[in-house]
Amino acid sequence: MGNIKIADTLKKYTMPIVLVAVFIFFSWQTEGKILIPQNLDNLLFYNAYVFILAIGMLMCILTGGNIDLAVGSVVCFIGSIGGVIMDKKINIWVAVLAMIAIGILVGLWQGFWIAYINVPPFIATLAGMYAFRGLANVIMEGLTVTVSDESFLFTFGNGHIPDILGSGEQNITCFVAGIIAVIVYACIVFYNRYDSKKRGYDTAPIVGDIVKTVVIGAVIIFLSYKLSYYKGIPTFLIWILVVSLIYGYITKKTVIGRDLYALGGNKKAAGLSGVNVKKVLFFSYVNMGLLAAFAGILTVAMLKSAAPTYGEGYEMDAIGACFIGGASAYGGIGTVPGAIIGALLMGVIDQGLNLMGIDANYTPVVKGLVLLLAVIFDVVSKREKK
């Protein structure tokens, strides 16, 4: 069974349990409206940017509780550039590459000041928040730019994969894809467990992996079943899954991933053990620029336009998703699945309160309290360990 206590395993899965409980609560309060296929599609649609930004923000937080306040403005800035380029009828892939390149440049700019000049991340990114929002307004001259290229909108926005296995009311392709995803996920979980045991590492009780696999598998099957009765697999969901898998691999299986956790765990010890502290910190902000650019692409495609107001509050959603999903405010602790769960929980709260007819002004209050409780849980857990 290993040396890890079952209580610790349960604590590890606190947020997934909370997510399921909150979903059940809103299902009851909305009389099942939140379970309608279109509402589930909307839940994912309107929170796509949070999933992407939360993954990038996690990389920053892991380095020691650092954050990036500029991401919302960068999303707007990148979107303004892409919108203007596509408005001139230039090839969409030129626009996409330009947006990604400029996002990386933004990350290089902020990472340089933070990692090599030692400007506090809060100050450097606060400056970026003002500057990039202003640049977006300058580029668009304060006006909204409409994006109408159908291939761009389908690929990154509101497109859905057509059913290639059937032609009836249910999208069979979507449902089969969900089943395959569950099988692949189960194989990965138990292979990783086998690999850890083979290398002599302590492993959590197997019941934890079984319960986790069953619960997550059930969620995937349920979601794919519901979406199969709407329009099928949304293209933006595929992008989210690809990004999640890539960064899940980076954080768990690569040297840079281990260095991120080491830096957040103990900066001085990490430096003495050979970790290039400045390089790792620099990487985290360059990466944030890249993912902010991608979030900008998705935002423009989903909203079919670029506007000076886009991205407002995005940074807070991303930060909140990470902390709610189990990332430590001190750094060194947090996972990509946790950030995704945090983002999903915030989305469920948003949509659930909306479907209940609760005044929208109360939504930030509830999200704020949930965030506070998550951070308190982190602080108390750390105090108990000491």
pLDDT on residue 76: 95
pLDDT on residue 211: 77
Answer yes or no: is 208 within a domain: yes
| Model confidence at 386: pLDDT above 60 | no
- C-alpha triplet 54, 58, 62: angle, nearest 5°: 170
User: What is the average pLDDT across 17-39?
Assistant: 88
pLDDT tens sequence across 302-338: 999 999 999 998 999 999 999 988 888 888 888 998 8
Domain that holds residue 300: 14-159+234-380
Measured CA to CA, the distance from residue 108 to residue 78 in angstroms comes to 15
Answer yes or no: is 2 within a domain: no
Answer yes or no: is 9 within a domain: no
| Model confidence at 272: pLDDT above 90 | no
Answer yes or no: is 318 within a domain: yes
Answer yes or no: is 1 within a domain: no
CATH of the domain at 362: 1.10.3470
Measured CA to CA, the distance from residue 96 to residue 29 in angstroms comes to 42
What is the band of 385 on the pLDDT scale with cuts at 50, 70, 90?
Answer: low
| Model confidence at 111: pLDDT above 80 | yes
pLDDT on residue 1: 42
| Model confidence at 107: pLDDT above 90 | yes
Residue predicted with more confidence, 212 or 148: 148
Whether residue 263 is found in the same domain as residue 222: no
| Model confidence at 225: pLDDT above 60 | yes
Whether residue 207 is found in the same domain as residue 322: no
Answer yes or no: is 385 within a domain: no
User: What is the average pLDDT across 81-90?
Assistant: 91
Whether residue 229 is found in the same domain as residue 239: no
Closest to 53 (Cα-Cα) out of 321, 308, 303: 321
Measured CA to CA, the distance from residue 222 to residue 230 in angstroms comes to 13
Give the phi and the psi of residue 305 in degrees, each rounded to 5: -170, 170
Whether residue 341 is found in the same domain as residue 290: yes
For the chain, give the number of residues.
386
Answer yes or no: is 41 within a domain: yes
Whether residue 219 is found in the same domain as residue 274: no
pLDDT on residue 295: 95
Point out the domain boundary residue: 233, 266, 284: 233
- C-alpha triplet 228, 237, 188: angle, nearest 5°: 95
Answer yes or no: is 8 within a domain: no
CA distances from 44 to 41, 47, 238, 240 (A): 5, 5, 11, 10
| Model confidence at 4: pLDDT above 60 | no
User: What is the average pLDDT across 199-227?
Assistant: 82
Measured CA to CA, the distance from residue 325 to residue 300 in angstroms comes to 26
Residue predicted with more confidence, 193 or 29: 29
Whether residue 245 is found in the same domain as residue 278: yes
Average pLDDT, the chain: 88
Point out the domain boundary residue: 233, 255, 270: 233
Whether residue 69 is found in the same domain as residue 82: yes
pLDDT on residue 2: 46
User: What is the average pLDDT across 148-153?
Assistant: 91
What is the band of 10 on the pLDDT scale with cuts at 50, 70, 90?
Answer: low
User: What is the average pLDDT across 156-165?
Assistant: 88
Whether residue 291 is found in the same domain as residue 350: yes
Point out the domain boundary residue: 194, 215, 233: 233
User: What is the average pLDDT across 192-204?
Assistant: 77
Q: What is the CA radius of gyration of the chain?
A: 21
Measured CA to CA, the distance from residue 322 to residue 337 in angstroms comes to 10
pLDDT on residue 12: 67
- 124 contacts 69 by C-beta, under 8 angstroms: no
Tally the domains of the chain. 2
- 84 contacts 306 by C-beta, under 8 angstroms: yes
Whether residue 172 is found in the same domain as residue 267: no
Whether residue 27 is found in the same domain as residue 65: yes
Buried b (16+ CB within 10 A) or exposed e, 195-214: eeeeeeeebbeeebbebbbe
Whether residue 66 is found in the same domain as residue 119: yes
Whether residue 72 is found in the same domain as residue 134: yes
User: What is the average pLDDT across 9-17?
Assistant: 70
- 244 contacts 186 by C-beta, under 8 angstroms: no
- Can you give the three-state secondary structure of the chain, one letter per residue? CCCCCHHHHHHHCHHHHHHHHHHHHHHHHCCCHHHCHHHHHHHHHCCHHHHHHHHHHHHHHHCCCCCCCCHHHHHHHHHHHHHHHHHCCCCHHHHHHHHHHHHHHHHHHHHHHHHCCCCCHHHHHHHHHHHHHHHHHHHHCCCCEECCCHHHHHHHHHCECCCCCCCCCCCHHHHHHHHHHHHHHHHHHHHHHHHHHHCCCCCCCHHHHHHHHHHHHHHHHHHHHHHCCCCCCEHHHHHHHHHHHHHHHHHHHCHHHHHHHHHHHCHHHHHHCCCCHHHHHHHHHHHHHHHHHHHHHHHHHHHCEECCCCCCCHHHHHHHHHHHCCCCCCCCCCCHHHHHHHHHHHHHHHHHHHHCCCCHHHHHHHHHHHHHHHHHHHHHHHHHHC
pLDDT on residue 8: 61
